[in-house]
Chain A
Amino acid sequence: MRAREACATAMMTAACLAASYALVGVPNVTLMDFLVFASGLLFGSKVGVSVAVLTWAIYGTLNPYGFCLPVFIATSASETIYGLAGGLLRRSWGPSWPEREKLAWSAYRLGVLGFCLTALYDLLTNIAYAYAFGVPLPIALACGAYFALLHELTNAFFFATCTPALARVARLLGPSELGLARGREVVRSGGT
């Protein structure tokens, strides 16, 4: 990991922690997932995954709702899917997607992506919860359905509304690609 990536990781981890602790009183509404996704989208999968793991390493251990090892492992591992998805999206959609696509279509795709990623995250964490507390999985899923749906819908909203704006801001700040790419170009041009 380069110094610039390490710096981005530290910065985004701090942002995730601030957002998580600020919204700790609102169950299952969190900006952390979106910020981890944004880390992957702006700085690549490596940074996205690192932000996810580091954020949960702190937020999972210093959590007002308590600490439970299987749930901690599951949330830490599951949170990385947002970072990975952000990194993959950055590769597959290319840097110019905010201009190429209509805003409504981008918002729809990101909303769907946010919903699906969160559904996967909730499924994995519910499996860990069922295993940790000896609850049958269908009951754990049924009892957590309301909170899962709230989580999925709010994440879909954050992904759909914030990501296009974030991508456009990043495009304005960087000449060719998002985020770190600009820095790499500067380093490259400075080196030659």
Chain B
Amino acid sequence: MEARKWPWLCLGLLCWAIAASAIAAYYYVGYLEMREAYETAKAYVAVSLCIDYGNGTVEWHNGTLMPAGSTLFNLTEHVTWNFSYTVWPGMGVYVTCINSVCERIITPGHEGYSWIWYYWDPEAKAWVWGPVACDRHVLYNGEVLAWRYEHWSF
């Protein structure tokens, strides 16, 4: 009787091994999924963009995912349906139209309406004028940016 017990005890151990392997496989699959999600999160940045048309219409694109290394130019191109610009060699991209609202020069060099971009400074709690051309500004995760159609005059 003792001898006949051993095969059943061995089978019990086999069950344990199968169960342990299944649990290990389950956690391994979970680990792979988490890792993939982490890699995806690392490869993208989530940014918010405000488009202020200057007539009271304000459009928000919150939490927009962009590949890491993208610029404000890429983001604007991504969220708008009509986008025009001119390239100034050595300086960068100058945006002229966003969603069919185009730059309007009333008096050349003195007065007009143009698209200006800003970034939100969370410490100063204020919008700050973009210091470079939009294609030179690399996005970072959680950033809040804005395009504003503004009247200017000198």
Q: Interface residues, chain A, CB within 8 Å of chain B?
A: 108-109, 112-113, 115-116, 119, 141-143, 145-146, 148-149, 152-153, 156
Q: For A116, give the chain B residue with the smallest CB separation.
A: B11
Interface size class of B (residues with CB under 8 A): 10 to 19
Q: Mark B7-50, 1 if CB is under 8 A from A, else 0.
A: 01001101100110111011011000000000000000000000
Q: Give the residue among A113, A149, A153 with the most B Cβ atoms within 10 A.
A: A149
30 pairs across A/B with beta carbons < 8 Å?
Answer: A108-B8, A108-B12, A109-B8, A112-B8, A112-B11, A112-B12, A112-B15, A113-B11, A115-B15, A116-B11, A116-B15, A119-B18, A142-B26, A142-B29, A143-B29, A145-B21, A145-B25, A145-B26, A145-B29, A146-B22, A146-B26, A149-B19, A149-B22, A149-B23, A149-B26, A152-B15, A152-B18, A152-B19, A153-B19, A156-B15
Q: For A115, give the chain B residue with the smallest CB separation.
A: B15
Known: A113-B11, A152-B15, A156-B15. 15 other contacts (CB 8 A): A108-B8, A108-B12, A115-B18, A116-B11, A141-B25, A142-B25, A142-B29, A145-B22, A145-B26, A145-B29, A146-B22, A148-B22, A149-B26, A152-B18, A152-B19
9 A-B pairs closest in CB distance: A145-B25, A149-B22, A145-B22, A142-B25, A115-B15, A146-B26, A145-B26, A112-B11, A119-B18
Complex: A115 Cα to B15 Cα, angstroms:
7
Complex: A141 Cα to B8 Cα, angstroms:
25
Which secondary structure dominates where chain A touches chain B? helix
User: Which residues of A sit under 8 angstroms from B21, Cβ to Cβ?
Assistant: 145
Q: For B19, give the chain A residue with the smallest CB separation.
A: A149
User: Which residues of B sit under 8 angstroms from A152, Cβ to Cβ?
Assistant: 15, 18-19, 22
User: Which residues of A sit under 8 angstroms from B26, Cβ to Cβ?
Assistant: 142, 145-146, 149
Q: A15: shortest Cβ distance to chain B, in Å?
A: 27
Complex: A148 Cα to B24 Cα, angstroms:
13
Q: Give the residue among A112, A119, A152 with the most B Cβ atoms within 10 A.
A: A112
